[in-house]
Amino acid sequence: MDKRFDEIQEFLIQLSRGNYDYKISSSSALDDIDGIILGVTMLGQELQVSRDKHVAFFEYSGDAILIFNADLNLFVDSNEMATSLLGFSKEAIRLLSIVDLFPKDEKKNLESKLAYLKSVVLTNFDTQIETKSGILKHVSFLSKKLPYGKGQFFQISLRDISESKEIEKQKELLSASKDRLELIMGSLQEVVWGRNLKNQKLEYISDSVKNLFGFPKQDWFENPNLWSDVIHPNDKSKVKVESEAAFDQTYTEMEYRILTANKEIKWINSKTRVLKKSDGTPFFMTGIAQDITQLVKAKKELFLSEKKYRELFDKSGDAELILENNVFVKCNDATIKMLGYSNKDEFLNQSPFDLSPEKQPDGQLSSEKSKLMNKIAYETGSNRFEWIHLKSNGDAFPVEVLLTSITSENVNDKTFHVAWRDITEQKNNQKQLNQLNDNLEIKVKQRTIELEESLEREKELGKLKTRFVSTASHQFRTPLAVIQSNAQLMEMLIKTGEKIEIDKYKKVSDRITDAIATMTGLMDDVLILGKISAGKVQFSPENIDLVEFSDKLVEEFNELNTYDSHLNFSIKGEPYNVNLDPQLLTHSLSNLISNAFKYSVGKKNPDLTIHFKPNEVVLTIKDYGIGIPADELPKLFQPFFRAKNVIEIKGTGLGLSIAKEYIETNKGFISLKSTEGEGSCFEITFKKILVRSE
């Protein structure tokens, strides 16, 4: 017998040293001592599982985790993610201190931050760290004091958030996308471009650049100076001055000449817009270059030769008109074709008022358009604007108008040369671009929200891990203390050398067995929670007779519960079958019913009611016990949360969170009403789903 006790003592010593593989064989008699050996063996197995899970959590965590010894001022352990993030081997990390993680220019400012880090249990902040290769990375820095080693050990978790930081930097550029797209207009004779002012790199240029300038598109990306090279020598100084002024004016429009690849001279109308950050710093320039060579030539010919002008006027592909004293007196064939008239006589002698769809009943234009027309009518030079015209059949369409005043022999006459260009297609393209931009903004916002939600979920996961370590440590500590104290008691009984009644050994063994069962239950709940978090809970619905199902469950609880009370069961409405997963439903209801008994000892019996409604079935579990404080109701379904008035009652804080997840997996919804000191009422609602008969 003494030999057997010596073996048990050695067994416990080996377990305390972490040697969970140590075993002792049972005797052929399989006596009570063997029962103790079996219980301690099970303890060793549970401790080994607990250790293995801790190692798995540490090594396979998505975060870089390092263990820091504050006394040595060095890291003593790290996982694979840490070596991947920092670029150091595990051996090299053991030679580093926390200060070595930060950039050199920040190390002198770290003393106060590190002193604070060592003085608190938990701290979390965003910062930059420097890897072995010198790369700076944004990380979420979480420091947690570990509950061992007299408080000198800290777990440092680093989560790489560089991508999210980069996304934030890009938000400002993405928000300017609408401004960029607003400038993308025009026909094939327009070139749209965009340049990054930080590195002077051309980021975009439209395919029409070859038609206008004669140089292939690729040449513009490979030669940053090509744009200035094509400007006509006589206009270089003018373009330089106006380009420099563009940075202060934000928007600039100018005209200048260019030399194409074939040395052909063309006139360009250039519109540029400079995009600036909130602090006024320019960061991007966009522009449109439009070929206005024909227009410039036409204007010159207008003044140089009436004959040439009329020939150009009549043969122009654009609508060309002469407006004299607010009446159209001349037009070309393109005008008639554009407006849908059969001949010029049907159109001429009308005023711009007659062609506007915004005429009032009295024949006048709206005040805004009227003011614009009056402004144009009394100015000289050229004016370019957009207008809405009516065709002969009454259809409205947009045109771009170039209105140029013409010197008349009669000073009292107001004569203008008018050029119209149908911009319907351009407007449609602009509308599509605006829609594309809106969709882009929506997608960017959606992606940003998804990333923020993902980051929030990651933060919540970090908090959950923290609560798990804290709660699991506490929950394991109690049964381990029971096992340790009873093992010591057993040792004391053995050392007395007296013959001890077997009942005393059984009491000690029972306590150890109960403690192991408690640890097993906690680990089962943690495993279930892990499956839920990983989305691995199986959902297998069946056609269930809910009344028969609940009858059996109530009967089991009333037979087995030890609270000197029973569960009242009632039904409302006309029963019908439901399509639910019975295993998930059993686990959810069992947890809620157990809580109803546990938290209402000595009170009125709890109730289970099933109400069959036309479109849904509602299960109510009501107790008349201690209730839940009002300020803690929103947190009740969070993992590891326990209300302040149940601290003295055994529990892990996992049951309700698992029950809620199982109910929702079963396509149901759970709600709670509770008053502290009066009791709690949980309602589970399932939509009625018609079950097809086979």
Neighbours of 331 (CB within 10 A): 23
Q: What DSSP string describes 153-205?
A: EEEEEEEE-HHHHHHHHHHHHHHTHHHHHHT----TTEEEEEEETTTTEEEEE
- Answer yes or no: is pLDDT of 652 > 50: yes
Residues in Cβ contact with 101 at an 8 Å cutoff, skipping those fewer than 6 apart: 86, 129, 130, 158
Minimum mean pLDDT among 165-174, 373-382, 513-522, 534-543: which range?
A: 165-174
User: What's the mean pLDDT in 442-465?
Assistant: 65
Greater confidence, 206 or 430? Answer: 206
Enumerate the β-bridge partners of residue 580.
542
Q: What tens digit of pLDDT does each residue of 308-324 get?
A: 666 767 777 778 888 88
Enumerate the β-bridge partners of residue 420.
319, 401
Residues in Cβ contact with 664 at an 8 Å cutoff, skipping those fewer than 6 apart: 670
Percentage, residues of the chain above pLDDT 70? 64
- Answer yes or no: is pLDDT of 609 > 90: yes
Minimum mean pLDDT among 170-184, 352-366, 374-388: which range?
A: 170-184
Structure confidence at residue 94 (pLDDT): 86
Structure confidence at residue 66 (pLDDT): 87
Structure confidence at residue 170 (pLDDT): 46
Structure confidence at residue 31 (pLDDT): 55
- Answer yes or no: is pLDDT of 130 > 70: yes
- Answer yes or no: is pLDDT of 367 > 60: no
Confidence band of 681 (pLDDT split at 50, 70, 90)? very high
With contact defined as beta carbons under 8 Å apart, do 592 and 660 qualify?
A: no
Identify the helix (H) or strand (E) that includes residue 58. Answer: helix 32-59
CA 400/CA 430 separation, integer angstroms: 14
CA dihedral 82, 86, 90, 96 (to 10 degrees): -110
Greater confidence, 405 or 686? Answer: 686
User: What's the mean pLDDT in 107-112?
Assistant: 65
- Answer yes or no: is pLDDT of 481 > 80: no
- Answer yes or no: is pLDDT of 208 > 90: no
Of the candidates 438, 204, 402, 208, the residue with the CA atom closest to the CA atom of residue 296: 402
DSSP classification of residue 231: B
Q: Which two tokens stand for residue 125?
A: 């902040």
CA 65/CA 81 separation, integer angstroms: 7
Structure confidence at residue 668 (pLDDT): 92
Confidence band of 565 (pLDDT split at 50, 70, 90)? confident
Provide the H-helix boundaries in 341-496.
344-347, 367-377, 424-495
Confidence band of 464 (pLDDT split at 50, 70, 90)? low
- Answer yes or no: is pLDDT of 378 > 50: yes
Percentage, residues of the chain above pLDDT 90? 7
Structure confidence at residue 623 (pLDDT): 92
Q: What tens digit of pLDDT does each residue of 40-91 get?
A: 666 566 556 555 555 666 676 668 888 888 888 888 888 888 888 889 998 8
- Three state DSSP letters for 332-374: CHHHHHHHCCCCHHHHCCCCHHHHCCCCCCCCCCCHHHHHHHH
Structure confidence at residue 32 (pLDDT): 55
Q: Angle, to 10 degrees, between the axis of helix 424-495 and the axis of helix 2-16?
A: 150
Order of strands across the sheet that contains 282-291: 201-205, 190-196, 282-291, 265-276, 251-259
Minimum mean pLDDT among 32-36, 260-264, 424-428, 664-668: which range?
A: 32-36
Structure confidence at residue 608 (pLDDT): 93
DSSP classification of residue 73: T
Task: Give the N- to C-terminal CA distance of the chain in Å, as an integer.
Answer: 66
Confidence band of 350 (pLDDT split at 50, 70, 90)? confident
- Answer yes or no: is pLDDT of 205 > 60: yes
Cβ-count burial 69-101 (b if 16+ within 10 Å, e if not): bbeeeebebbbebbbebbebeeeebbebebebb
User: What's the mean pLDDT in 131-158?
Assistant: 80
User: What's the mean pLDDT in 486-514?
Assistant: 70
Best mean pLDDT range from 397-406, 520-529, 611-620:
611-620
Q: Which two tokens stand for residue 441?
A: 């903004």
